[in-house]
Structure 1
Amino acid sequence: MQPSKLRTGFTAAVLLILLAAALTACGGKGDPEPIGDPEKIVAVYQGGEVDEQEFNRYYYVDKFLFAAMHDYYEQIAPEEFKRHMLESYISFKILGERASEEISSRTEGEVDERMVQFEAELSADEAATQSWEEKSKEWGLQKDDIKQYILLQAKALNHVRSLITEERIQEIYHAALAENPHAYTTATVRHVLVAFEPEGGEPRSKEAALERAQEIKSLLERGEDFTEVAESYSDDPGSKNNGGRYEAVNVNNWVEPFKEAVLELDIGTISEPVETAYGYHVIQVEERVEPGLDELRDQLEGQAVDEYYKAFVNEELPALIEEIKL
């Protein structure tokens, strides 16, 4: 994935995660010297400009929160990545500047409240506090830079959310169901996998794997405990120590034969062995849920927000940026 494709969408859930991560990580003291020249303009866009120091505050807060991503892209494509970060910063500035006074005021209040809520937790996290103090000194950051980073994105997000109509939410919902009637179906299942190539074991022929799967089915039908059977026989490391259970998973996340079986099985029935590329599965469906629009509203709104933001970045933003001088 190229840096220009990174983080071109944002949702309320993501922003809350950012907020929690940031606030539990801050707590530096003193007044470090910011990196960058406030007189050097690194970007000009319609209606404003960005100086080097301003951008660096945003860039290094982001680096503190997403260190692994920065380490990766700063090695493979540093110039492209930094340009992408600057374009993202400008996009948030423009969208935030379009927010109404009511949205701006409300957003500032929300961020202030969350800062207060998390302030009490700072002293309890010694490791996070130490990390922040080290990085804030190195990069010239202050705790207020964390707040401004969050406020910038929150204001842009709340502005975009105000543009999402009920009609658009319904369009997304019905279009997805028209394309795939099970677009939103979730299921809770238990399964035992008999792998063709089990980790740390000898490969099995299809015949041997099928025979073992049929034996497992017989054990379960005789009333053996599914948890114990999964722990003893399953080759799926992701579920064998959890009773073979996957809870409330969107069925489209599974490979087609497994998905079809989950959709067709009667609740509580032990399936015949189901073949996939991984091996044979013995499956029991505990629950299937077809959520309605109201239950999916937050998810659909987030999808609409991401859709709007991506369109803005790809179609409108390039014409609004007049110059970048990194």
Structure 2
Amino acid sequence: MSAAAKEVSKEALHLRTPLVLSKPLSERVGVKTYLKLDNLQPTGSFKVRGMGAATQRAKERGCSRLVSSSGGNAGLATAYCGNVLNLRTTVVLPTTASENAKRKVASLGAEVVVEGGQWSESNSFAEGLVAESESSGDKAVLIHPFYGEDIWEGNSTLVDEIAEQLPAGVKPSAILASVGGGGLLMGILQGLRKRGWREDVKVLACETFGANALALSLEKKERVEIAITSVAKSLGADKIGEDILKECFDPGYDLEPFVATDEEAVGSCFKFALDHGMLVEPSCGAALSPIYYHSERVRELAKGEDKCIVVEVCGGGAFNSIETLQAYAEQLGLDLNGDKII
């Protein structure tokens, strides 16, 4: 583990989550398939890794207030970290945020402000709050949902844990992970670089159609901005962070985009619940969909003596419910086994 990663992990706010060998997924693919269960983090998603590192660094630098513009998993993680660190926390939510989101964020002691019709407008308002704090003596720091060195360093601890939890001497052939704005992906890439694994471990970067800014950017070899139409709302960043995309273009990595349909992402949530009794959201279903719907392709990823893959189970039911998934299933014509109704 790098010195920086050790510093992040010393008194980390995230949990060291289990890495479990999945018998049903291994049988489906024909290759040992491990699940990194970040859906078991305190706020139900991997976000507490990056938010934890960023908020701890902010406090060390004299911050007295945290501001977040995410009404999703990042905002919830920031509220949690602020509560643990005893820092005043404000989360700016768009007018489209659900009552459930407002309630969960507020339950962690954060001040909830509703402003803006979409994330970009909420983020601009949050930036204004931080600017105002400079004149009031209230030193506020904006905690971005996916962008920043501290966030990426926190997310890179995922790779450190995988290396420590796999059998001695084993490295995965591939890591499957969902991509929204790219903060998780950047953490994984940096983690692979630190361990000297970047040429040996393929990263299958999973998105859904209608939230596939990374795949389109890699295809066009330039940063592409898109309109979000996918039901996988947690993947709903209209463009990948500039520095993140630059890292993705580095030929030293074995990076491959994968784009699932909404039907596959939602169907994977039902199939995963049947296999493992855990509820995950469609954004996480994107990383599971290669297993459930394209197992032959995943089998091709397995190489070397070890021949195993790891799936990052990035987010659970923090803002999800069986009712929400059932509504998506009805909308997409799926039954409750995740199969298309004929």
TM range (shorter): under 0.3
Q: Which structure's relative contact order is higher, taking Cα pairs within 8 Å and 6+ residues apart?
A: 1
**Greater C-alpha Rg:** 1
Q: TM-score scaled to structure 2, two decimals?
A: 0.22
Q: TM-score scaled to structure 1, two decimals?
A: 0.22
Task: Compare the two structures and name the one with the higher helix fraction.
Answer: 1
